[in-house]
Amino acid sequence: MEALRQELEGMKQQKALKTEKSQIEAEANNQRNLSVKPQSDLKSRSLISRDAYNNLEHANYRLDSEIKTLRHGGSVLYPDVEGIKTQVKEEAVNDRGGTE
Protein backbone atom coordinates (compact mmCIF):
# COMPACT_ATOMS: atom_id res chain seq x y z
CA MET A 1 0.00 0.00 0.00
CA GLU A 2 2.84 2.40 0.89
CA ALA A 3 4.53 1.62 -2.42
CA LEU A 4 1.36 2.59 -4.30
CA ARG A 5 1.10 5.81 -2.32
CA GLN A 6 4.72 6.71 -3.13
CA GLU A 7 4.17 5.87 -6.79
CA LEU A 8 1.05 8.08 -6.85
CA GLU A 9 2.98 10.90 -5.18
CA GLY A 10 5.78 10.50 -7.74
CA MET A 11 3.28 10.66 -10.58
CA LYS A 12 1.78 13.87 -9.14
CA GLN A 13 5.22 15.43 -8.89
CA GLN A 14 6.04 14.37 -12.42
CA LYS A 15 2.78 15.89 -13.70
CA ALA A 16 3.48 19.15 -11.83
CA LEU A 17 6.99 19.30 -13.31
CA LYS A 18 5.65 18.72 -16.83
CA THR A 19 3.11 21.52 -16.34
CA GLU A 20 5.81 23.86 -15.06
CA LYS A 21 8.06 22.94 -17.98
CA SER A 22 5.26 23.70 -20.46
CA GLN A 23 4.64 27.08 -18.83
CA ILE A 24 8.34 27.97 -18.96
CA GLU A 25 8.58 26.93 -22.61
CA ALA A 26 5.47 28.99 -23.47
CA GLU A 27 6.94 32.05 -21.73
CA ALA A 28 10.29 31.59 -23.52
CA ASN A 29 8.49 31.32 -26.85
CA ASN A 30 6.49 34.46 -26.06
CA GLN A 31 9.66 36.40 -25.19
CA ARG A 32 11.35 35.15 -28.35
CA ASN A 33 8.40 36.37 -30.43
CA LEU A 34 8.50 39.76 -28.71
CA SER A 35 12.18 40.18 -29.60
CA VAL A 36 11.66 39.62 -33.33
CA LYS A 37 10.19 43.06 -34.11
CA PRO A 38 12.93 45.11 -32.42
CA GLN A 39 15.57 43.01 -34.18
CA SER A 40 13.84 43.57 -37.51
CA ASP A 41 13.61 47.31 -36.83
CA LEU A 42 17.32 47.47 -36.02
CA LYS A 43 18.24 45.66 -39.23
CA SER A 44 16.02 47.99 -41.24
CA ARG A 45 17.54 51.09 -39.65
CA SER A 46 21.02 49.70 -40.22
CA LEU A 47 20.29 49.28 -43.93
CA ILE A 48 18.86 52.81 -44.15
CA SER A 49 21.92 54.23 -42.39
CA ARG A 50 24.23 52.32 -44.71
CA ASP A 51 22.36 53.64 -47.76
CA ALA A 52 22.54 57.21 -46.43
CA TYR A 53 26.28 56.81 -45.79
CA ASN A 54 26.84 55.44 -49.30
CA ASN A 55 24.89 58.38 -50.76
CA LEU A 56 27.06 60.82 -48.80
CA GLU A 57 30.23 59.09 -49.99
CA HIS A 58 29.01 59.23 -53.58
CA ALA A 59 28.15 62.93 -53.28
CA ASN A 60 31.53 63.63 -51.66
CA TYR A 61 33.35 61.86 -54.49
CA ARG A 62 31.35 63.80 -57.10
CA LEU A 63 32.09 67.12 -55.38
CA ASP A 64 35.80 66.29 -55.13
CA SER A 65 35.82 65.55 -58.87
CA GLU A 66 34.09 68.84 -59.62
CA ILE A 67 36.61 70.75 -57.49
CA LYS A 68 39.54 69.12 -59.32
CA THR A 69 37.95 69.98 -62.67
CA LEU A 70 37.39 73.61 -61.65
CA ARG A 71 40.95 73.94 -60.32
CA HIS A 72 42.32 72.81 -63.67
CA GLY A 73 40.27 75.42 -65.54
CA GLY A 74 37.43 73.18 -66.57
CA SER A 75 33.76 73.89 -66.26
CA VAL A 76 31.13 72.00 -64.36
CA LEU A 77 27.41 71.96 -64.96
CA TYR A 78 25.57 73.24 -61.93
CA PRO A 79 23.38 70.60 -60.34
CA ASP A 80 19.62 70.88 -59.95
CA VAL A 81 19.59 72.43 -56.47
CA GLU A 82 15.83 72.03 -56.03
CA GLY A 83 16.05 68.40 -57.06
CA ILE A 84 18.84 67.81 -54.55
CA LYS A 85 16.82 69.49 -51.78
CA THR A 86 13.86 67.25 -52.56
CA GLN A 87 16.06 64.15 -52.53
CA VAL A 88 17.63 65.13 -49.21
CA LYS A 89 14.21 65.70 -47.66
CA GLU A 90 13.01 62.29 -48.89
CA GLU A 91 16.09 60.58 -47.47
CA ALA A 92 15.63 62.38 -44.14
CA VAL A 93 12.03 61.19 -43.98
CA ASN A 94 13.12 57.64 -44.78
CA ASP A 95 15.85 57.78 -42.11
CA ARG A 96 13.25 58.78 -39.52
CA GLY A 97 11.06 55.87 -40.50
CA GLY A 98 8.68 57.74 -42.80
CA THR A 99 7.19 60.06 -40.18
CA GLU A 100 6.65 63.64 -41.28
Asked if the structure places residue 36 within a domain, the reply is: yes
H helices of 1-100, in order, are 2-71, 81-95
Of 44, 58, 56, the C-alpha closest to 95 is: 44
Residue positions counted in the chain: 100
Asked if the structure places residue 46 within a domain, the reply is: yes
What integer pLDDT is reported at residue 21 of this predicted model? 95
What DSSP character marks residue 96?
T
Q: Are 80 and 41 in contact (CB under 8 A)?
A: no
Domain assignment of residue 61, given as a range: 2-95
What's the CA gap between 84 and 81, in Å, rounded? 5
Asked if the structure places residue 75 within a domain, the reply is: yes
Asked if the structure places residue 32 within a domain, the reply is: yes
Q: pLDDT at residue 55 above 60?
A: yes
Residue type (1 letter), 44: S
> What pTM did the predictor assign?
0.42
Asked if the structure places residue 78 within a domain, the reply is: yes
**What's the mean pLDDT in 12-24?**
95
73-84 per-position pLDDT tens digit: 877 666 677 778
How many domains would you assign to the chain? 1
Asked if the structure places residue 54 within a domain, the reply is: yes
Asked if the structure places residue 91 within a domain, the reply is: yes
Calculate the average pLDDT of the chain. 85
Residues near 45 by beta carbon (within 8 Å), at least 6 away in sequence: 97
Asked if the structure places residue 100 within a domain, the reply is: no
